[in-house]
Amino acid sequence: MIDRIHTERLILRPWRAADLAPFAEQNADPIVMRFMRGTLDRAESDAYAARCQKHFEENGFCKWAVEAPGVAPFVGAVGLTWVGFEADFTPAVEVAWRLHRTWWGRGYATEAAAAALRDGFERAGLAEIVAMTATINAPSLRVMEKLGMTRAGEFDHPLVAADSPLRRHVLYRIGLQSSAA
């Protein structure tokens, strides 16, 4: 089992205690979380990181802590996880990213997500990986397209309130054969 993934500029690695404070800051930022179901307090953020680590221990892949060596010890979380709700496309593994906004606009989300996809196909042996976001989340939709993912439709996210502008989601897919990662 691997313990980290290297890219040209990034390292996707296990979580460290030092990651928890910047991750909590990121998760408490309403701008970072504007396409999520809300901000997280410190306890919720720490629990999220603990779930990521547990997911790795149980599945061999996870949403990793991401660092940019020589630039920042922690820029966010990127990786793979099993989708945590039932839908017509589940069970499925999702690639997802959440970066501190200080590090937006540098291509880090795409670079790290591409590495996570590659690892999911090559090492974890996955046949397909999905991504999803609210229909209004243009930045994440661009990342999905840069990754070579194909738009597969829309759905109402079952964990988002019916009256929320975030309820309607877009689903993207990529398979092993079509992977540009």
Indicate the pLDDT class of residue 2, thresholds 50, 70 and 90: confident
Residue 169 pLDDT > 50: yes
Q: Evaluate whether residue 37 is within a structural domain.
A: yes
Q: Give the number of domains in the chain.
A: 1
From residue 22, give the alpha-carbon distance in Å to each of 8, 25, 44, 63: 23, 5, 13, 16
Residue 12 pLDDT > 70: yes
Query: Any idea what the CATH number is for the domain that residue 139 is in?
Result: 3.40.630.30
Q: What is the mean pLDDT of residues 80-109?
A: 96
Residue 181 pLDDT > 60: no
Q: What is the mean pLDDT of residues 44-61?
A: 95
Q: Evaluate whether residue 156 is within a structural domain.
A: yes
Domain ranges, residue 89: 5-175
Mean residue pLDDT of the chain comes to 95
Indicate the pLDDT class of residue 178, thresholds 50, 70 and 90: low
Residue 100 pLDDT > 90: yes
